Amino acid sequence: MTREQYPYSWRFLLGRVRHAMTQRECEVLENLITNVEDVPSQHTILMRGDIVEQSTLLIEGFMARVIERDNKRHIVALHVPGDFVDLHGFALKRLDHSVVTIGRAKLGYVEHRRIASLLTGEPHLARLLWFSTLLDAAVHREWILKLEELNADGRLAHLIAEMWHRLNFVGLADPTGFPFPLTQVEMADACGTTAIHLNRVVRQLRESGIADISRGRITILDMERLTDLGGFEKSYLYGDGTLQIGRELDKQN
């Protein structure tokens, strides 16, 4: 799958189980996108409680799902290029959280009436889109588990390991690290800690020779120790390990 063939959906097509899609289904998905725009950092594309009439494919950049409670912001999910950020809005129509860009981003929009047409006209493709939404739920469950199991340094290590794998699926990580535009305040919001404590954790990771976070990039110095610190086990991402999807989602099955 190349950017020239599928300029909007090519990162999505690099991801998991896309091998189950036919060329025609890839073309159908690409043509679902009716509008594309470049948006600035900290741009709220969807506010909690808004009526949702379209879903967003993240073409470039990073996005977060955010809940604000008692004057504190909580980042409850992060999204990378190729993610359908709010596909679940097709069923829910109103979301219980807001969706915000982190850094500049390019977004593609799919009207819900077009998604509805897939349910009868392209049921196999609809199933694969459903898979991507259920994959989000698997990530949510792992985040909840790690918030309970780990202290702040373990949570940050887990987040870094997860983001490396998710970005590697779509060709945006290398063996030494990946781009990551989150500030330390935003990382603290995602790890359930304070910015002051997060700053100490970042320093500890660097001084321990595990990872360095600076200038919009995370450099991984020791992947094995990072994985151990975060208790990271990649199966829940359904790309490798015991839960890896093979031909189970092919049309004939």
Q: Give the pLDDT of residue 1.
A: 62
Per-residue pLDDT of the chain (253 residues; tens, 9 = 90+): 678 899 999 999 988 777 789 999 999 999 999 999 999 999 999 999 999 999 999 999 999 999 999 889 999 999 999 999 999 999 999 999 999 999 999 999 999 999 999 999 999 999 999 999 999 999 999 999 999 999 999 999 999 999 999 999 999 999 999 999 999 999 999 999 999 999 999 999 999 999 999 989 999 999 999 999 999 999 999 988 888 887 788 875 5
Within 10 angstroms of residue 65's Cβ, the number of other Cβ atoms is: 22
Please state at what angle helix 123-149 crosses helix 23-32, rounded to 10 degrees: 70
Q: Give the pLDDT of residue 240.
A: 82
Q: Give the pLDDT of residue 30.
A: 96
Please give the sequence-ordered ranges of beta strands (E in DSSP) within 70-193, or none if there are none.
72-79, 98-111, 177-179
Token output for 226: 């990072």
Q: How big is the chain, counted in residues? A: 253
Please give the sequence-ordered ranges of beta strands (E in DSSP) within 40-186, or none if there are none.
44-46, 54-69, 72-79, 98-111, 177-179
What one-character-per-residue DSSP string does 206-226 give? HHTTSEEEETTEEEES-HHHH
Q: What is the DSSP letter of 174?
A: B
Rounded-to-integer distance, Cα 28 and Cα 26, Å: 5
Rounded-to-integer distance, Cα 231 and Cα 82, Å: 26
Closest CA to 163 of 103, 218, 215, 224: 218
Q: Give the pLDDT of residue 252.
A: 56
Closest CA to 117 of 155, 148, 149, 90: 90
Token output for 89: 């809005």
Domain-by-domain residue ranges, the chain? 10-146, 151-230
Rounded-to-integer distance, Cα 66 and Cα 154, Å: 22
Q: How far is CA 188 from CA 38, 94, 192, in A?
A: 27, 27, 6
Task: Specify burial of residue 74 (Cβ count, 10 A radius: 0-12, 13-18, 19+).
Answer: middle
Class of domain 10-146: mainly beta
Within 10 angstroms of residue 34's Cβ, the number of other Cβ atoms is: 11
Rounded-to-integer distance, Cα 147 and Cα 156, Å: 10
- Please indicate whether the domains covering 10-146 and 151-230 agree at the CATH topology level: no
Rounded-to-integer distance, Cα 27 and Cα 13, Å: 11
What CATH number belongs to 151-230? 1.10.10.10
Please say whether the beta carbons of 9 and 56 come within 8 A.
no
